[in-house]
A and B are shown apart, each in its own frame.
Chain A
């Protein structure tokens, strides 16, 4: 063959090495090969317009990823060999890891499964390949997180049964239902939910706070994982942006559908992030930044610029964004208050902030903390000191959509609980907000199915009627080890002994009884 032809540029060459391997089928109908592509109403007129968000052939992928893995596992080995868990800032920090391993790592696995499926669903081969690469990356994250935390599990409580708990524990139904919602949706909504809303808009508010928390608190294993996953995450974010632009450019009829999804997934993401907010403000002994600051930088500024950019497609910022922006002054305090009260039913410990931490919160939240929250926290500290550590023994009302107890307050009245209810086919449903209520109204047939942990306990579907049985038998939370107050817990005592100190006299196990 004459070889004086013009050589392919990188972009075209990559297309030959990916999407050009696909062909127009003629022995089977296209809609039978790709049955899930059309039911959401998204119109794709020309898949060839898909811009590959990154160009990585498999040989290069294997090579780069293997180099990263080699370095990562060398650190894991060194961390374990040198008992790196002894060098963290304080054992309270490990509770953030417990939340991560039971709340976030299972989502990495769900993401793997979701991307493997959509990596088959699209008739555009370029999009399929990008999704498959994300699938195997997510599997990587799911597995390396197990390995990063494996050593902690040998020395602290509450990390021992994350996947089991993720399927059952009351607050873990918040992240689980979020991903179940995305995975049960069609392929385009899945990508709008996870690639765009989650990875592109909100990653800096989920993944980054945990990894920065690790860096600030001497957790070499987790922060090394974070650095190692950074270039994967960059690829995932690029995919997220390409997805949304591609769908919007394909057909104007797609715009209202995508807008509805952006509204929904922004709100669901915002609610899910309440857990991260409380982690940042309350669970990190060395604090990175306040939740309000993180929200300002990563959502209000970065997100603001993004939605300005998307304006030309007819996309406006997410509905109820103003409520979310205002809530940055409240959510972390409201969430921590709730977990503090229900610390007998969590796989991590809770505690009241110490004096200097309360001062930090007052300074970071000048308009709200002293006015609405500090007095309550000081009261609880006093109660604890006097031998009456507060636990709430009634089960809370959950929101039908986000599944968080209806603990949040009205935008213009922080002393008024936000609560909405509607009747649907003769049954009454409860919500934490207009945002969640709207999501329900759009797809009631989906959200009536929700597995609400509190309802399930009351219906006797969780191995027992009383909280103690549910917590120990159904959740696999070891009572007196994994749960209750941090002060005086086995983790606390172990930490004091690592640091060569005597256990605190005021911290008796005797005060640990929730009943």
Chain B
């Protein structure tokens, strides 16, 4: 049996907003569409920025990449704000369970002191890399006019802040929430020879002006080597050396990276496929940054899972870049 509630049905006079209908036709639109397309100001700006007299507000020439329509870049996850926070709330719930479990059983506090020092030296300093990624993505979000592209980057910026906070909490678990572990770890970031190429790389990224160059180097190239190295290879190495519990605390990062590949791949495919000129420019940026990132990660690889592991990852990145028509030195590795 089914029951049927009578409702007063009303015929709408239109299905969606005009700017959505012009792209997709006048039919019921998704929440993602109504939240993401053509919301930003596009023309008739009143004043030029005091901080950049070369460009206007929402100026598409803030990158040298040219797109007929930046809205060709979309999010395969269809994240608008509500969908984004809903998804992350679930992820953080799982992370909270793991952190709670570790905390309750003092799993990190019971690790041998040498292992604690290793974690503070080799894993926790990545919180500073995350803050750099946070800043870079916030810049991109502020520079990109098209909302489909821009929102990807503000979500990414906030994610990186969150990941930096998870890494910091690992140190707080080791030091009994005194902050001493974080101080020690920051000392490695500032002075330990192992981190200096990486710190230089991050600082170099912070002065990059072209926002597409920045998203490429940060979200595709740097993450493309760093995340698999740290959260797969180093994670495995830590497990083999008696710190397998740490894996629980970095599960968020593994899930997150896997998910982020969906939009970075989609974005790269569209932008590289747009024109030969785009492809050539992307290639020049890959040529410039990929070797620098590889070199910056080498000391961490040497101290942990070995350079071979990094080379494996480099080859994987090369294969991924090949799909966009790009080449990197990883092919020969």
User: Which residues of A come within 8 Å of B, CB atoms?
Assistant: 1-8, 12-13, 16-18, 20-28, 32-33, 35-36, 39, 57-59, 61-63, 65-67, 69-70, 72-73, 81-83, 86, 106, 109-110, 112-114, 116-121, 125, 128-129, 132-133, 135-136, 139-140, 142-144, 146-147, 150, 153-157, 159-164, 166-168, 173, 176-177, 180-181, 183-187, 446-447, 449-451, 456, 476, 494, 498
A63 to B97 CA separation, bound complex (whole angstroms): 14
Q: State whether A7 touches B168 (Cβ < 8 A).
A: no
Q: Within the complex, what minimum Cβ distance (angstroms) separates A201 from chain B? A: 23
A27 to B196 CA separation, bound complex (whole angstroms): 9
Q: State whether B165 touches A86 (Cβ < 8 A).
A: no
A177 to B320 CA separation, bound complex (whole angstroms): 44
Q: 21 pairs across A/B with beta carbons < 8 Å?
A: A6-B178, A8-B172, A16-B172, A22-B131, A23-B190, A62-B92, A63-B92, A109-B41, A117-B139, A143-B35, A150-B29, A159-B17, A163-B19, A164-B38, A181-B47, A184-B48, A185-B50, A187-B51, A446-B50, A450-B46, A451-B45
A-B contact count (CB 8 A): 282
Q: State whether B161 touches A113 (Cβ < 8 A).
A: no
Q: State whether A167 touches B41 (Cβ < 8 A).
A: yes
Q: Across the two chains, which residue of chain B brings its CB closest to A69?
A: B82
Within 8 A of A (CB), among B140-196: 141-143, 147, 150-151, 154-155, 157-159, 161-162, 164-166, 168-169, 172, 174-182, 186, 189-190
A229 to B131 CA separation, bound complex (whole angstroms): 27
B203 at the A/B interface (Cβ < 8 Å)?
Answer: yes
Q: State whether A161 touches B48 (Cβ < 8 A).
A: no
Q: State whether A120 touches B139 (Cβ < 8 A).
A: yes
Q: Within the complex, what minimum Cβ distance (angstroms) separates B27 from chain A? A: 12
Q: A1-B180, A16-B168, A20-B182 are known contacts; what are 11 more A-B pairs with Cβ within 8 Å?
A: A6-B178, A12-B179, A28-B206, A39-B50, A118-B142, A128-B135, A135-B142, A163-B40, A184-B48, A184-B49, A449-B47
Q: Within the complex, what minimum Cβ distance (angstroms) separates B100 from chain A? A: 12
**Chain A residues in 8 Å Cβ range of B116:** 1
A164 to B41 CA separation, bound complex (whole angstroms): 8
A252 to B205 CA separation, bound complex (whole angstroms): 35
- Contact A150 to B138, CB < 8 A, known contacts A139-B81, A143-B82: no
Q: Within the complex, what minimum Cβ distance (angstroms) separates B200 from chain A? A: 4
**Chain B residues in 8 Å Cβ range of A494:** 13
Across the interface, B143 reaches (CB within 8 A) one of A36, A117, A166, namely A117
Q: Across the two chains, which residue of chain A brings its CB closest to B53?
A: A184
Q: State whether A69 touches B86 (Cβ < 8 A).
A: yes
Where chain B touches its partner, the secondary structure class is helix
Closest A-B pairs by Cβ, 5 of them: A3-B176, A58-B162, A5-B178, A117-B142, A66-B89
B39 at the A/B interface (Cβ < 8 Å)?
Answer: yes
A72 to B162 CA separation, bound complex (whole angstroms): 24
User: Which residues of B come within 8 Å of A, CB atoms?
Assistant: 7-8, 10, 12-19, 29, 31, 34-36, 38-51, 57-58, 80-82, 85-86, 88-89, 91-93, 95-96, 109, 113, 116, 127-128, 130-131, 134-135, 138-139, 141-143, 147, 150-151, 154-155, 157-159, 161-162, 164-166, 168-169, 172, 174-182, 186, 189-190, 199-200, 203-204, 206-207
A239 to B41 CA separation, bound complex (whole angstroms): 26
Q: State whether A150 touches B180 (Cβ < 8 A).
A: no
Across the interface, A86 reaches (CB within 8 A) one of B10, B57, B204, B207, namely B10
**Chain B residues in 8 Å Cβ range of A128:** 135, 138
**Chain A residues in 8 Å Cβ range of B190:** 23-24
Q: State whether B47 touches A113 (Cβ < 8 A).
A: no
Q: State whether A162 touches B17 (Cβ < 8 A).
A: yes
A13 to B181 CA separation, bound complex (whole angstroms): 13
**Chain B residues in 8 Å Cβ range of A25:** 203, 206
**Chain A residues in 8 Å Cβ range of B186:** 20, 23
Q: Across the two chains, which residue of chain A brings its CB closest to B178?
A: A5
Chain B CB count within 10 A is highest, among A81, A83, A119, for: A119
Across the interface, B18 reaches (CB within 8 A) one of A72, A186, A476, namely A476
Q: State whether A161 touches B31 (Cβ < 8 A).
A: no
Q: Across the two chains, which residue of chain A brings its CB closest to B200?
A: A27
A459 to B154 CA separation, bound complex (whole angstroms): 39
Q: Within the complex, what minimum Cβ distance (angstroms) separates A429 from chain B? A: 14
- Contact A146 to B34, CB < 8 A, known contacts A1-B181, A451-B46: yes
Across the interface, B45 reaches (CB within 8 A) one of A70, A147, A180, namely A180
- Contact A4 to B176, CB < 8 A, known contacts A146-B35, A163-B41: yes
Q: Across the two chains, which residue of chain A brings its CB closest to B109?
A: A3
Across the interface, B12 reaches (CB within 8 A) one of A18, A132, A155, namely A155
A155 to B40 CA separation, bound complex (whole angstroms): 24
Chain B CB count within 10 A is highest, among A139, A147, A456, for: A139
A184 to B91 CA separation, bound complex (whole angstroms): 37
Q: State whether B189 touches A180 (Cβ < 8 A).
A: no
Q: State whether A161 touches B18 (Cβ < 8 A).
A: yes
**Chain A residues in 8 Å Cβ range of B157:** 116, 119, 132
Across the interface, A150 reaches (CB within 8 A) one of B17, B82, B89, B206, namely B17
Across the interface, A113 reaches (CB within 8 A) one of B34, B38, B58, namely B58
Q: State whether B34 touches A27 (Cβ < 8 A).
A: no
Q: State whether B38 touches A163 (Cβ < 8 A).
A: yes
**Chain B residues in 8 Å Cβ range of A114:** 142
- Contact A446 to B14, CB < 8 A, known contacts A28-B204, A112-B154, A166-B41: no
A106 to B109 CA separation, bound complex (whole angstroms): 51
- Contact A144 to B82, CB < 8 A, known contacts A27-B199, A28-B206, A112-B154: yes
- Contact A184 to B44, CB < 8 A, known contacts A1-B181, A16-B172, A63-B92: no
Q: State whether A32 touches B92 (Cβ < 8 A).
A: no
- Contact A146 to B81, CB < 8 A, known contacts A7-B176, A180-B46, A451-B45: no
Chain B CB count within 10 A is highest, among A113, A118, A456, A494, for: A113
- Contact A59 to B86, CB < 8 A, known contacts A25-B203, A185-B50: no
**Chain B residues in 8 Å Cβ range of A26:** 203
Q: State whether B96 touches A59 (Cβ < 8 A).
A: yes
A154 to B21 CA separation, bound complex (whole angstroms): 12
Q: Within the complex, what minimum Cβ distance (angstroms) separates A235 from chain B? A: 14
Q: Within the complex, what minimum Cβ distance (angstroms) separates A29 from chain B? A: 9
A155 to B10 CA separation, bound complex (whole angstroms): 9
A282 to B19 CA separation, bound complex (whole angstroms): 29
Q: State whether A109 touches B135 (Cβ < 8 A).
A: no
**Chain B residues in 8 Å Cβ range of A140:** 81-82
A385 to B176 CA separation, bound complex (whole angstroms): 79
Q: Within the complex, what minimum Cβ distance (angstroms) separates B35 from chain A? A: 4
Q: Within the complex, what minimum Cβ distance (angstroms) separates B107 from chain A? A: 13
A449 to B29 CA separation, bound complex (whole angstroms): 38
Q: Within the complex, what minimum Cβ distance (angstroms) separates A186 from chain B? A: 6
Q: Within the complex, what minimum Cβ distance (angstroms) separates B143 from chain A? A: 7
**Chain B residues in 8 Å Cβ range of A166:** 41
Chain B CB count within 10 A is highest, among A4, A21, A168, A185, for: A21
Q: State whether A139 touches B142 (Cβ < 8 A).
A: no
- Contact A8 to B178, CB < 8 A, known contacts A59-B95, A59-B162, A183-B49: yes
Q: State whether A147 touches B150 (Cβ < 8 A).
A: no
Q: State whether B178 touches A39 (Cβ < 8 A).
A: no
**Chain B residues in 8 Å Cβ range of A110:** 40-41
Chain A CB count within 10 A is highest, among B8, B46, B92, B109, for: B46
Q: Across the two chains, which residue of chain A brings its CB closest to B157?
A: A132
**Chain A residues in 8 Å Cβ range of B50:** 39, 184-186, 446
A36 to B154 CA separation, bound complex (whole angstroms): 20
Q: State whether A160 touches B141 (Cβ < 8 A).
A: no
**Chain B residues in 8 Å Cβ range of A13:** 172, 177, 179
**Chain B residues in 8 Å Cβ range of A173:** 44, 46
